[in-house]
Amino acid sequence: MNPFETNINQFDRAYFIGAGGIGMSALARYFNSLGWRVAGYDKTSTPLTKILEKEGIELHYEDLKHSIPQYFQNTEKTLIVYTPAIPSDFGELAYVRMNGFVLLKRSQVLGMITRNSKALGVAGTHGKTTTSTLLAHILDQSKYKCNAFLGGISTNFNSNFVSSKTSEYTVIEADEFDRSFLQLSPFASIVTSTDADHLDVYGSNDTFQEGFQHYVELIDTNGFLVRHKDVTLNHTQTISYGLNSGADYTGKNLRFEQGVFMFDVDTPTGLWGNVTLGIPGIHNAENAISCIALCSELGLSETVIRAGLASFAGVKRRFEYHIKKDTLTYIDDYAHHPTEINALISSVKLLYPGEKITAIFQPHLFSRTRDFMLDFCTELSEIDDLVLLPIYPAREKPIPGITSEKLLDNISSANKQLLSAKEAIEYVTKTRSGIILTLGAGDIDRIVEPLKLTLLKQ
């Protein structure tokens, strides 16, 4: 069925095949908030799926094969949402395909939602989750409010979904992977960056850039584009932002004073001095400036925007502090692209000049490691004591010659080694001072709590 011809109001129940992912679970929460009955399948029980069950979403963890729960067998009233990560021969998926259900991908459902609200998209290779979460937080603190579908767990909301039954605004991460963002109908959008990525999908950087331009062309003619100064995309109404530049909204004088991260912003209406942001980081300052630009253009006051920035507590796994002692700091971050690693290390050096940096990095995807091998080597060489984990494959099969061993050989750090996750924890917990980082987008998050607990026992 063509999702552009599907009216979301024709349904009153939703069934998710692959309910436990960060994007799918936000949608499940959305329909649950509407009063729909929501159920579904996921492969394994996780802390997130357990929370969904407590919220009233009915989940199971085995393939029902030639059926789904009785209540959801009404093909007229049931919307089936699935993730492409589910194998094509999965029994429940085959059942709904053969029995006339409306079956849509997550991105297609988000597209339907954007056509029924004023959607505020956040696109870009880097910073989507932090920027969209900050934007949602500012709007939620204002009279505007919003619904929001986030790619991470907001510390302020303790959720990846924000609900408002009265707001006309919906904040959505516009994901470029698999060209999903081309399903959306944004009123306005931030584009943080268009650094090449997902070349296994796009094939070349030129095609990747074309994908973003097609996305920008979907922005409402009465809306606007907020783009980083280095992004070359354009819309009929375009606002630029950046650090130390001639952009429409320009941040400067980044500083960390008495434990507070702040900066100044030149705006079209004047200087905003001493802007305080609740989380540190050079990249987070840029994310904040994009939100200042978009919210200002929507009509929010400087006072409201400043308050939202100052009270923002961040996103899980985005520059997330786990230990802050006088002599030892442990930060976990989702950085998995060379540009993101550069931003993270630069921010750490700004905040903690002269401190030794010890890091565990898990490369994510064989194709990304291959496509950016030299860039990874350059950025990871800035780490004083580096531990590499084996490449996390996600959806991919191994590529001959692309290994963590090859990556390690070309990194110039004086102290570097390749270890298993267990060995990495044992090695890093010998560290008594300086900065410890864990970074990557795979399953490295599984070592965060064990590492933290072991470090705290020292």
Alpha helices in 276-435 (DSSP H): 282-298, 302-310, 338-351, 366-371, 373-380, 404-409, 421-428
Domains observed in the chain? 3-106 (3.40.50.720), 117-310 (3.40.1190.10), 320-456 (3.90.190.20)
Position 2 scores a pLDDT of 56
Position 4 scores a pLDDT of 55
250 SS3 class? strand
One-letter amino acid at 98 equals M
From residue 200, give the alpha-carbon distance in Å to each of 112, 203, 204, 208, 396: 27, 6, 9, 10, 10
383 near 408, Cβ under 8 Å? no
**Residue 132: both structure tokens together:** 């969209």
**Residue 69: both structure tokens together:** 């729960």
Position 259 scores a pLDDT of 83
**Residue 420: both structure tokens together:** 């298993």
Q: Is the dihedral of CA 191, 195, 201, 203 positive or negative?
A: positive
DSSP characters over 405-435: HHHHHT---SEEEE--HHHHHHHHTT--SEE
For β-strands 147-154 and 224-228, DSSP reports them as unpaired
150 near 133, Cβ under 8 Å? yes
**DSSP H/E element including 268:** none
pTM of the model: 0.88
Residues 6+ apart with CB under 8 A from 248: 239, 240, 241, 267, 268, 293
**Angle at Cα 307 formed by Cα 303 and Cα 312, nearest 5°?**
155
d(CA 360, CA 358): 7
Position 258 scores a pLDDT of 84
What's the average pLDDT block by block, 10 residues per block, for the chain (458 residues)?
Answer: 70 96 95 96 93 97 95 97 89 96 94 92 94 98 97 95 96 90 96 84 87 96 97 94 95 91 97 96 95 98 98 93 95 94 94 96 96 97 98 92 97 96 96 96 94 91
